[in-house]
Structure 1
C-alpha cells in the first residue's frame, strides 16, 4: 500500500522553486541507483526503463499537443518527448477528451504521467502528485500565449519517475531550453487583430489553389496543409507576387531554384506549387538524421535560408558539444543570434509563422472542408 503521507503530496510550484531541499532531492535522484531507494516497492520507473516505453496522456490544445498529419508537435509534446529521450525510451503519447479522463488514467495506471491544466484541487482529491511542467517558469508560458497552469501529474510522489521528471524540467528551466521551446510555440507570433484579414485571404484564395496543393502534396507524400501554410507565408497565396530580390510566384521561387525544379513559368500557380513542393521535399531528404516532426522545421529553415546556411549552424552547434539534429538547439541558435543577423531573424519569423498558419488551417473546418 502507498502511505497516505505521500500519496496526496503535490510537488507544488512553490516547493519546486523555493525549497532548496526538494530541489536537491529531485536532482540527487539522478545519481542514486533507483533499485536502492526502496527495493520492496515496484515503481513505474522500473517498468518504463525495462519496457523502453513512456506513456503520456494529455488533452489536445494549443499548449500541449497539435496533430499535424501523422505527426504530433506542440510545447507539451516536445517537452515530454525530450524527457523520454533523456531516459532513452520511446514515447507513446495518447490524447483524451478532458482533464478528468487524463487524471483517471493516472489513477488506474493506464499511463505513466498526464499533462494537464486541471485545477490543483482536483489533482489532490485523487491523491496524485503534480508539479509545474516548467519548474515555475510561468513567464515563458504567459508571454508566448501558452497556458501557465500546465502540470505533469504522476501516481506517486516518491516514484523515481516523478523525481527524475521534476529534475528534468528544472534543468530545462536553468539551461533556457524551456524558454526557447515556449518561444517557438508562441501563440502570439501573429497578432490577434491580424487573424481576421488572414482568414479573409484564406477564404477567398484557398478554394482556387486547394486542388493543386492536395494533388502536389500527394505526389511527394507531404501534408497539403503545410504546403498551403508555406504558400501563405511566401506570397499570401498571390501567384503574381514579386520580391525586391527577384523571387516570384505563389511559392516565391528564385530563378535558379525554379529552373532546377523544372518550373518554366514562376507565375503559373500550379507550376509554382509543384516547384515549391519538390524543393521542400529535397530539403526533407537532406535531414534524414533528424526525426519528425523536427525534420519539417529543419527543411523549412533550409527552404528559407538555403541548406548551406543550416549546415554551417549545425557545425557550430556540434562544436558547442550539443546535438545538431535537435530542433531546440537549432532554433535556440537562430533566436539567440537574430539581433545581430538579419537572416536568422527572418528564419525565426518564417518558421514560427508557418507553424502558426499550419495550426490555423488545420483547425479551421471551413478551410479543411472547402
Structure 2
C-alpha cells in the first residue's frame, strides 16, 4: 500500500544495532528482551495494510491495530517500526524466524495457531460472515455453498472452517487467494466473478459502504478472539508487558475508545446513501477535485476531509439552497461568505475556498493542546452548529468532570443544549442543531473514510492473488 514508505536505511540501522549487541553475549544475558527493546529504542511489529489494521489518512498512519500498537510503544518510550506482510504464513513465520517482536494484524487466536505462537489476552471478538451479492441466491447454511464459487484467504481461519465442513460435505469446494486484502475478495463477489466470500465481521463493517450491493448471508464457524501473536520463547518479559498493557487498556477504556473511534460512526448502514455516494464520486467529484485539493493545500488539511464536508452539505451540488438561506456547494451563510471573501456563493470554486478557509479558522480557534482527531471532529461540529455552542458543550463537559478536549465526551453533552436546565447556564443558549451535529459529524467521518479507502485502492499496486507473495522485509519507521 502506498503509505508504506520503505526506508531501508532505517532498517539497516536497526539491524546494525542488533549485530552490535550480539557482540556482547554476556551483556545480553543480563538484559531481558524488554530491556533490550528499551535500550535499542525500537519496537518492531509485523502487520498488513487495511482499514482494520494500518492505513494512511490525511494525518499519517492510522487504523485500529496501528493505534493500539503505537500506544504500547509510547508507553515503552520507543519508536514503532512496522513490517508489512501480504499473507498469513509470512505473518506467523516472521514472529518465529525473523526477529519481529510480535504480530498485530487481526489474527484470530485459534487452537491450531497456538501450537506455533502464543497470544495475548483478546482485545476484540469477531465472527465469520458468508457474504453474497444482492440479487443472487442467498445461502442459508453450509450445504448451500456446494457447487458455488466461494473465495477465501489462504491459511486463514476461514480455510480451517471450510476444511472441517468438508468432512461433513465432501463435495464442498472453494478458491483460496494468497492475499490478505479483503477488498480483493469483496470485489470478486461484487463483480460476479465469485458467488460468495468469507470474511471477518469487523472487516465487513468497514467495507460494506464501499460495496453496498453485498450483504451477510449467515455466520459460519465459532466466534474468535483477536490478539497479538508472540514467539514462544523462554524470555516472556515483552509478552508479559503487552499482556499487562492490554488488560489496562481494557479496564481503562482505551480499547472502548479505539473501537468507538474506528467503528462507532459506521454501525448504521444505509444502502441507498452509500450507493448514491459512490455514484457521485464517479459523476460529480471529478468536476471539483482540483479545487478541493487546491483549497485543502492552501489551508493545511486533507482534501478528502474537505470533500466529505462538501458532500454532507450539498451532495456536491453547487446550486443547493436551504430554507434558512445558506447556499452553494459548501452551504455558506451570508455572514460566513463575507468573512471568507466569497462574492458569489453559487460559484462552486469560490464556495470550496470559502468553506476551507472557514473550517481552518475554526480549527485554529481551538486550544493547541488538542490532538488532530479531536480538533477535526470538534471543528466539524462547530462548522455545523456554530463555534459558540460547541464551546458551551465543552464547558458543560468540564463541569461534569470529563475531558472537554475529547469529542467522544463532548458529543454526549450536545443534546443537553436543547434542555432549559442546561442551555440556561451557557453563554450562547439554546442550540437547535445539537443532536443534528452528532449525525453531521458521523456522516462526514463515514464519507471521509470511504474517500480515504477509495483513493488507497486506486493507488495500491495490483497483487497477483494466486502467486506466492514474499514478505516485505525492510523496516518502516512510522514516527
Match of 1:216 among 276, 289, 295: 295
Q: CA deviation at 1:206?
A: 0.9
CA distance in 2 between counterparts of 1:148 and 1:301 reads 37
2:236 is the counterpart of 1:151: no
TM-score (norm 1): 0.72
2:439 is the counterpart of 1:349: yes
Gap change, CA 1:236 and 1:354, over 3 Å in 2: same
2:450 is the counterpart of 1:364: no
Q: Which is strand-richer, 1 or 2?
A: 2
State the partner residue of 2:21. none
2:320 is the counterpart of 1:241: yes
State the partner residue of 1:57. 46
Larger mean CA deviation between 60-69 and 106-115 belongs to 106-115
C-alpha contact 1:144 1:182 (8 A) present in aligned 2: no
CA distance in 2 between counterparts of 1:236 and 1:251 reads 9
State the partner residue of 1:266. 345
Match of 1:73 among 52, 58, 62: 62
2:235 is the counterpart of 1:162: no
Q: CA deviation at 1:269?
A: 0.5
CA distance in 2 between counterparts of 1:366 and 1:48 reads 32
State the partner residue of 1:256. 335
Match of 1:231 among 310, 321, 331: 310
SS for the counterpart of 2:121 is: strand
CA distance in 1 between counterparts of 2:444 and 2:438 reads 10
Larger radius of gyration: 2
CA distance in 1 between counterparts of 2:82 and 2:402 reads 26
Task: Determine which structure has greater relative contact order: mean sequence separation of CA pairs < 8 Å that are 6+ residues apart, divided by chain length.
Answer: 2
Q: CA deviation at 1:248?
A: 2.1
CA-to-aligned-CA distance 1:232-272 (integer Å, 9 cap, x gap): 11111111222343322211222222211111222211011
C-alpha contact 1:180 1:332 (8 A) present in aligned 2: no
CA distance in 2 between counterparts of 1:213 and 1:111 reads 41
CA-to-aligned-CA distance 1:6-47 (integer Å, 9 cap, x gap): xxxxxxxxxxxxxxxxxxxxxxxxxxxxxxxxx966434324
C-alpha contact 1:190 1:353 (8 A) present in aligned 2: no
C-alpha contact 2:292 2:303 (8 A) present in aligned 1: yes
State the partner residue of 2:380. 300
State the partner residue of 1:199. 278
CA-to-aligned-CA distance 1:172-231 (integer Å, 9 cap, x gap): 433444334323322434424432122122222112211211222232333222221111
C-alpha contact 1:362 1:368 (8 A) present in aligned 2: no
Match of 2:116 among 104, 126, 135: 126
Larger mean CA deviation between 116-125 and 219-228 belongs to 116-125
C-alpha contact 2:103 2:229 (8 A) present in aligned 1: yes
SS for the counterpart of 1:101 is: helix
Q: CA deviation at 1:70?
A: 5.2
Aligned residues: 324
For structure 1, list consecutive stretches of 5 or more residues without a partner in the other structure.
1-38
2:72 is the counterpart of 1:83: yes
Q: CA deviation at 1:357?
A: 1.4
C-alpha contact 2:123 2:255 (8 A) present in aligned 1: no
Q: CA deviation at 1:164?
A: 3.5
CA-to-aligned-CA distance 1:153-172 (integer Å, 9 cap, x gap): 23358634333333333334
C-alpha contact 2:313 2:329 (8 A) present in aligned 1: yes
2:106 is the counterpart of 1:46: no
Gap change, CA 1:58 and 1:100, over 3 Å in 2: same
CA distance in 1 between counterparts of 2:376 and 2:225 reads 29
Gap change, CA 1:131 and 1:281, over 3 Å in 2: same
SS for the counterpart of 1:364 is: helix
Gap change, CA 1:319 and 1:87, over 3 Å in 2: farther
CA distance in 2 between counterparts of 1:349 and 1:314 reads 18
CA distance in 1 between counterparts of 2:283 and 2:225 reads 37
SS for the counterpart of 1:245 is: coil
SS for the counterpart of 2:246 is: helix
The Cα RMSD (Å) is: 3.6
CA distance in 1 between counterparts of 2:255 and 2:434 reads 20
Q: CA deviation at 1:128?
A: 3.4
CA distance in 2 between counterparts of 1:299 and 1:73 reads 20
C-alpha contact 1:55 1:93 (8 A) present in aligned 2: yes
TM-score (norm 2): 0.57
